Structure 1
């Protein structure tokens, strides 16, 4: 999918980039992936349509907004987060969404939220929609965050309007109004057609994240804990284009990669074995094979490199 923006990644002290994020988006804490005191990123702002907009590029571990930060900095906006490049996992309440380029998530600024980047480069466009405007138009339909499904035709229409507003400097207010109308239509249809399937999928994704390091935890155990059949569980994962087993494997590999990155190369061979078992793998050859398949290199190389 074609990117909306091309922000640059440049070395910036962690505290400087965190201060820029706070200036533009509110009170968020930035957690770097490496202990160098430097991250690669940039924060800029634009006025598109009727919205203040932040363009954020970074390669941090995560960015979070805690309950304490919310008390110090009351939320005045909903942030429509558009993933433009790279990946990001958004966690807000019982909502967990893995964002790929093109995906959107409506973030509620009065609720704690975490954005997980795992040290990979990410570009995001964030439209700041005044909270009183959203509440006046839509009531409490989007309280607590909401993933915008790209399976809905309205997703494509919203993205098209965002792209047009970005292309046209000082785009007329009519485009902003058109976007809010599309969002209202989406929120209405989401509430009308929302089902237990969405709740079950959110619970399943959250449960995978909590138990990924347990080698005895697999798709069968996940289905048992959710009180559904494995076949039904697979149906709920189809919109993500993957199976429960594949999601669990990816989360274990990401956990192992993060721990190897932080290992600082000490006793690499022994360290890889320990990390593999600590991250839910009980077969080393399988771990090595799947790690190379995902990252294009060996676990030992990752540990030595960092």
Structure 2
């Protein structure tokens, strides 16, 4: 992973260094900020390979950034870009018009088309995924015409692209290269679908949609473990698919939807048992969505071969390499 910040530089040097190193030589863009704000500028940047793609994260004082023909000729990247604007709303001017971006927006574009991005005063935080196009026939055929567009929240593929992108970004270096490339391929296919560049009936499109629905389902489960009514019907409603389709999503995994929910609840129970040793077991069980102590103890013993109390004691005191809490 490459990581860098302006913190070690003198205030009057920070933006100029950021503009030259981060902007001109790494990203191939032109940056600008009001002269009276340069002394207060701060920036932090990191990037890591994610399979064949590159994931970057930028946190900085808001500034203007553009990519013109000179920038493109100097440093071409020939990539599909997917960005998540976490903080720092603004707008992007393209040859096809102005695109407004609120905090939380996800946008897609081709890297080697001109744009001018302006952000409101304050701070900005963005995660950006660059997927190389070379060697990907469907991407090469269509994506080079993709000027910046944001995903409409209510569009057919918006939730699926968001869930897939956030899962990739959150997992980061934990993903093996082959696993990352598979997920990135599905994500690129979803972007093509969202842009109307390919049809929905191809095997590749159907597999990308299925994989994204499964990813979205797991994210919904992870965010709602506390709900005792969490189940197939909850997921079907959230994903806007049928109950039968939810069951079919989990079939290739070898675990049913119900077993997946239970397994994820138990993972959270294990985490809380280890990290909050003073918290009562009964409190943890109900906080993780178990509707009765009998159900909880039965599921935990089946998974661990021990009671929650014995498991906690082993993790805190008996496991090799674990710091003793006495």
Which residue of 2 is the match for residue 218 of structure 1?
A: none
Structure 1: distance between partners of 2:123 and 2:86: 11
Matched, 1:29 2:37: no
Structure 2: distance between partners of 1:175 and 1:21: 28
Which residue of 2 is the match for residue 170 of structure 1?
A: 174
**Change over 3 Å in CA distance of 1:8–1:84 after alignment to 2:** farther
Q: Alignment partner of 1:114: what SS?
A: strand
Which residue of 1 is the match for residue 80 of structure 2?
A: 78
Residues 221-246 of structure 1 show CA distances to partners (whole Å, capped at 9, x for unaligned) of: xxxxxxxxxxxxxxxxxxxxxxxxxx
Q: Post-superposition shift, 1:55?
A: 0.7
Matched, 1:137 2:139: yes
Residues 204-261 of structure 1 show CA distances to partners (whole Å, capped at 9, x for unaligned) of: xxxxxxxxxxxxxxxxxxxxxxxxxxxxxxxxxxxxxxxxxxxxxxxxxxxxxxxxxx
Matched, 1:159 2:162: yes
Structure 2: distance between partners of 1:108 and 1:24: 17
**Change over 3 Å in CA distance of 1:9–1:20 after alignment to 2:** closer
CA RMSD of aligned residues (A): 2.9
For the 8 Å contact 1:43–1:56, the answer to whether it is kept is yes
**Change over 3 Å in CA distance of 1:87–1:191 after alignment to 2:** farther
One of 112, 115, 132 as aligned partner of 1:113 = 115
Structure 2: distance between partners of 1:99 and 1:88: 5
Which residue of 1 is the match for residue 47 of structure 2?
A: 45
For the 8 Å contact 1:17–1:43, the answer to whether it is kept is no
Q: Alignment partner of 1:116: what SS?
A: strand
Structure 2: distance between partners of 1:136 and 1:182: 12
For the 8 Å contact 1:81–1:124, the answer to whether it is kept is yes
Q: Alignment partner of 2:103: what SS?
A: coil
One of 179, 182, 186 as aligned partner of 2:187 = 179
Residues 137-190 of structure 1 show CA distances to partners (whole Å, capped at 9, x for unaligned) of: 362356141412222131111111122112223322322222122222212279
Structure 2: distance between partners of 1:80 and 1:133: 18
**Which protein, 1 or 2, shows the higher relative CO under an 8 Å CA cutoff with sep ≥ 6?**
1
Gap regions ≥5 residues in structure 1: 1-6, 193-306
Structure 1: distance between partners of 2:188 and 2:63: 32
**Change over 3 Å in CA distance of 1:154–1:92 after alignment to 2:** same
Which residue of 2 is the match for residue 56 of structure 1?
A: 58
Q: Give the alignment's TM-score, normalised by structure 2.
A: 0.50
Structure 2: distance between partners of 1:190 and 1:151: 20
Structure 1: distance between partners of 2:152 and 2:135: 22
**How many residues were matched structurally?**
185
Which residue of 1 is the match for residue 196 of structure 2?
A: 188
State the structure with more CA Rg.
2
Structure 2: distance between partners of 1:8 and 1:69: 23
Q: Alignment partner of 1:101: what SS?
A: coil
Structure 1: distance between partners of 2:24 and 2:16: 10
Q: Post-superposition shift, 1:117?
A: 1.2
Q: Post-superposition shift, 1:9?
A: 8.8
Which residue of 2 is the match for residue 220 of structure 1?
A: none
Q: Post-superposition shift, 1:64?
A: 1.0
Give the 4+ runs in structure 1 shifted more than 6 A.
189-192
Residues 256-294 of structure 1 show CA distances to partners (whole Å, capped at 9, x for unaligned) of: xxxxxxxxxxxxxxxxxxxxxxxxxxxxxxxxxxxxxxx
Q: Alignment partner of 2:73: what SS?
A: helix
For the 8 Å contact 1:33–1:119, the answer to whether it is kept is no
Q: Post-superposition shift, 1:105?
A: 1.9
Gap regions ≥5 residues in structure 2: 201-326
Q: Alignment partner of 1:140: what SS?
A: helix
